[in-house]
Amino acid sequence: MSRTSAGLLMFRRPLEVFLVHPGGPFFARRDAGVWTVPKGEPAPDEALLDAALREFAEETGWAVDECRRGELRALGSVKQKSGKVVHAWAFEGAPPDRPLRSNTCRVEWPRGTWGTYPEVDRGAFFDLATAREKINPAQVAFLDRLAERG
């Protein structure tokens, strides 16, 4: 059974996109191909867009209304190598004047050792060429769709 996630891609002009890097020891030394749109799984009976709005706030510490300038644009969905289907929306915006602050999660790494880590350890804006190198390969389609729509 495949999982589903929903997320938001914040962008600014000239066209740059905001991506987040997963926290925790597994991703600590990885860079290319692991950055992502802030996203997460919806709760049971939660609408995908509602989940995307909630996840953006949980992973950045910023409410979308603090950041957004303009309407949300549907970017459709992609299927990642893991089988997870990710739905995304884009919005033009800028973060508030305070640092990113992610929620935390418990992770077992290595086996038998549990720790609490931020779900996201950093976020940054990237031009499209750099974002294509950093983002999960399946999510490149979101960048392409955003660029096509201007």
Which long-range CB contacts under 8 A does 49-55 form with residues at least 24 apart? 49/6, 49/89, 51/5, 51/6, 52/6, 52/7, 52/8, 52/87, 52/88, 52/89, 53/8, 55/5, 55/6, 55/7, 55/8
Give buried/exposed letters for 124-136 (b at 16+ CB in 10 A, else e). Answer: eebebeebeebbb
Encode pLDDT of 84-134 as tens digits. Answer: 999 999 999 999 999 999 999 998 888 999 999 999 999 999 999 999 999
pLDDT-derived band at 29, boundaries 50, 70, 90:
very high
- Residue 82, pLDDT > 80, answer yes
Output DSSP code: residue 117. E
User: How confident is the model at residue 1, as a pLDDT?
Assistant: 46
Q: What is the pLDDT of residue 2?
A: 57
* Number of domain units in the chain: 1
Q: State residue 51's pLDDT score.
A: 97
Domain that holds residue 71: 4-149
In the predicted model, is pLDDT for residue 69 greater than 70? Answer: yes
Domain harbouring 32, CATH code: 3.90.79.10
